[in-house]
Chain A
Amino acid sequence: METILEARGLTKRYGATLALNSVDLTLPKGKIVGLLGPNGSGKTTLLKIAAGLLTPTSGFILADNRPIGEETKSVISFLPEQTYLPDWMTVTDCLEYFTDFYEDFDSKRAEDMLGRLAVPANKKMRTLSKGTREKMQLVLVMSRRAKLYLLDEPIGGVDPATRDYILNTIIGNYDNEATILISTHLIADVEKVLDEFLFLKDGVITMHDTTDNVRETQGKSLDELFREVFRC
């Protein structure tokens, strides 16, 4: 099976804190993978390193068989927790920005999704609610025909209806050739869409398996297994 993301001995330190501890990881193409773990387990750090926003302390990471850099950024679509679109930009400005920089950006798809959200094209980001801005970012990120999507807590801190919208958007725009790595601690909500999962605890991957295997061999849901593994 072809690999889209590979890490070996990946380590990240913030001063005395070890955020990632010698992580070895291989993700295949065409899968939806859950990056699961409690707060502070290193999920965001792993995603940011893959997106090229953090530099690892040691080890290496390859995306699409290339070191993280200009080329990998053209095939990776990253959704951070932060709202990163400039306040002064209008919806149209954002679409133009993504069209200019990403060859794989499907503006028609984005316009359709935004139309369903009923966000006026001339609205500036600062006038949109936090929830709408988050949806806007998700639409932009998922409107790319990327090879790897890195989604950092896309359903954290939103109401159940929005959660459904986000998950439907992710699934509805998912290309079978692409891989989605989605970080969350809301296991029950995403469990149904995951092919594989990674448990991350204190910067170490403690388990990497398929969701089907967990159900078949252990007779448990992923949510139950998570609660068991990460019991305080």
Chain B
Amino acid sequence: MLGKLIKHDFRALSRTLFPLQIGILAGGLVATLLTVLTIRLNSASVAAHTSSSMLNGVLMVISVTMSVLIGIAIAASAFVTLLLICMHFYKSFLSDEGYLTFTLPVSTGKLLWSKLLTGIFWVLINAAVLFVTILIFAVFGTSSAGIANQNVLQAISMFFTQTLPEVAQYVSIPLVVIECVVIGLLALASQLLEIYFAIIVGGQIAKKHRILAAIGMYLLINMGVGIVSSIYTSLIVLSEGAWTITMDTAREAGVFFLSVFGWFGLLFAGLSVLFFLVSRSILKKNLNLQ
């Protein structure tokens, strides 16, 4: 049944999120072209030792304005993606659609898992799309001569041929990658579950203005999580011997940070389990769709 839930949640989210990601890529390409146009117009003016003509000036202002606006829109898309995921959760659980959701012969845990996994999937897709868009812009949108910016390509090449091998002398790269992926996923899961939890509690305490109540609850919960995280971080850093460790060598520093990151993974895992279990318990024992 979890597979079927994921299939239908994925379909519901794809309806809005797929066009959004296509829009980000398209917007990124337009911004890249406009920026290249601006750079080329500017270069042409400089090469000709003449001040920009009126037409060039207007074109440059339009290009820069458009590029900045598209850049802002692309940056905002991450927030919009998260907002659409949360709205889908709210509608499925707390609006009239809840009558369909909660009469399905599936457990509350599976309903939550489905929302969590599809949410994580779309946040990752959005991150990948943003990364590709920025990469395209950096490589092709910042070149004043030729198609691609050779400096950027060299920097990317250096990262793989020089930086990584150097870092590999002190820490295990596969271990770092695995740790980053696992901790990143746990951080994402805890953040999504925190929002879902706030929406559920908001729905419990307010009959009207449930979205406002959910936002208020999120701010409150986030404050609490912030305090707990700060205390936890202090304890971990102290217990890892931050005041006594010399960190004279890169190896020592690498081991110290990997260990601290590991403890952060544990914190995110704990928060995820807590939010999941409490959310499930509320939906199971105190569901009140009115």
Counting CB contacts under 8 A, is B53 at the interface? no
Q: Tell me which of B102, B104, B288 contacts A101 (CB under 8 A).
A: B104
B11 and chain A: residue at smallest CB distance: A93
Complex CA–CA separation, A93 to B14 (angstroms): 14
CB within 8 Å: A-B pair count: 60
CB contacts under 8 Å to A, within B80-94, are 91
Contacting A at CB under 8 A, from B1-50, are: 1, 4, 7-8, 11-12, 15
Cβ of B99: which chain A residues have Cβ within 8 Å of it? Answer: 53, 78, 80, 82, 84
In the assembled complex, A52 has its CB within 8 A of some CB on chain B = yes
Does B209 touch A at the CB level, under 8 Å? no
A84-B105 Cα distance, complex, nearest whole Å? 16
Closest B residue to A141 using CB positions = B103
Alpha-carbon distance A51/B7, docked complex (angstroms): 24
Bound Cα distance from A82 to B100, whole angstroms: 10
The residue in chain B whose Cβ has the minimal distance to the Cβ of A96 is: B8
- CB distance B285 to A82 under 8 Å? no
Q: B105, A54: Cβ atoms under 8 Å?
A: no
Q: Which of B4, B91, B100, B105 contacts A70 (CB 8 A)?
A: B105
Query: Within the assembled complex, what's the spacing in Å between the Cα atoms of A49 and B209?
Result: 24
Q: How far is the CA of A19 from the CA of B30 in the complex (A)?
A: 60
A85 touching B100 by the CB < 8 A rule?
yes
A57-88, CB < 8 A from B: 70-71, 73-74, 76, 78, 80, 82-86, 88
A85 to B91, CA, bound (A): 11
State which of A55, A80, A97 has its C-beta within 8 Å of the C-beta of B288: A55
Known: A70-B106, A83-B96, A86-B12. 13 other contacts (CB 8 A): A52-B103, A52-B287, A55-B286, A70-B105, A78-B99, A84-B96, A84-B97, A84-B98, A84-B100, A85-B97, A86-B97, A101-B104, A101-B106
A-B pairs with beta carbons under 8 Å apart, 12 shown = A52-B102, A52-B287, A53-B99, A53-B289, A55-B287, A70-B107, A76-B103, A84-B100, A85-B100, A86-B100, A101-B4, A101-B104
Query: 3 nearest interchain CB pairs?
Result: A74-B105, A84-B99, A73-B105
